[in-house]
Structure 1
Amino acid sequence: MNIENEKPVKSIEQLEKEAQSLLDPKVDDGLIKARWVEMFNRLIAFKKETGSHLIPNKFITDDGAKLGGWFRYQRQAKETAQMPDVYEYLMEREFGENWDDVSARGAARKNSTSRASWNQYVKALQDYKEEFGDVNVSARTLYQDLKLGNWLVRQRRFSERLSDEQIEILAEIGITIERK
């Protein structure tokens, strides 16, 4: 084992100090770090909205940020030991020690990631109603680059999977869903 090539181990205090500096908006550490902090904050917001930080690989925020791809890259960077210690520390501090656990993604995907997609479709449905004055969406309706009609058919077909809250949200928009 070649000890010269190993990274020195940093103390929690050192990592916390680096983290505070990194997250301090007054400190300009360059574009790459600023971009990382921006995406990290977007991931925190995603977690607050959905209840989980586990995000679909292709998830794109409303303003076009490729958050899913960024998160996938963070997991790969950790896996290949290319992630800076302070980034790894912040991810663990915010999302827990197993933040990069891919096996947990499958279990959580049913809740967090589909919930995020569900919210995107609901927003599109609200926009559709605002634009056209109704929610008469055919099964083939494509709206805002989403297969809105297909999604609505699936909501009706698999209504037993919807929570009472989801059924209520759809009812407020004008969609009647009857449980099977």
Structure 2
Amino acid sequence: MVEYKNQHGNTIVPQRYDEDPKLGIWVSKQRCLYKTDKLNPNRVDLLKSIDFEWNGAGKGIDNEKWMNMFQKLVEYKEQHKNTLVPQRYDEDPKLGRWVIRQRNYYRVDKLLPNRYALLKSIDFTGDTRGKVDYEKWTSMFQRLVEYKKEHKNTKVPQQYDEDPKLGMWVHTQRSNYQKDKLLPKRLVLLNSIDFT
């Protein structure tokens, strides 16, 4: 249990824990014994000494489903190095929808504390609106940098057949600048390449 906590930053071991099934069953048993007042006091003290989570991550079948989805998210992170699962994730549509629900619970502060702790333990991005927007903006900025290398200017036509998205994006940046809605960091970046 101590090794699990050192590795995961919490004591919320799923009841069906594939890496160590005996540990999952043992943890569940300790919680049951504690709830029925049958857990030896020195064992209670030992478990409290590592901030043992007495309630797990929720109850019953719902908790089991949640933990299964959480494990899928952990696997996704190991593969992709982030928790930004697309809402329409073709490889596992349920995971995409589940992640969106967790983000919604996060935004309205309705995520159970132990589930919040589990998600935080894997650096879950709760509110991606700013991050996704920043990544899209940065990607378009890189396309503009490439355009400038090729054309020696940043005067991308609004209707640019080779890259219509870039044409619209450049138009939006100019419009945001004129309306004084361009974020200062973005303005600095655009000025750094002599944006017109």
TM-score, reference length from structure 2: 0.44
Q: TM-score, normalised by structure 1?
A: 0.47
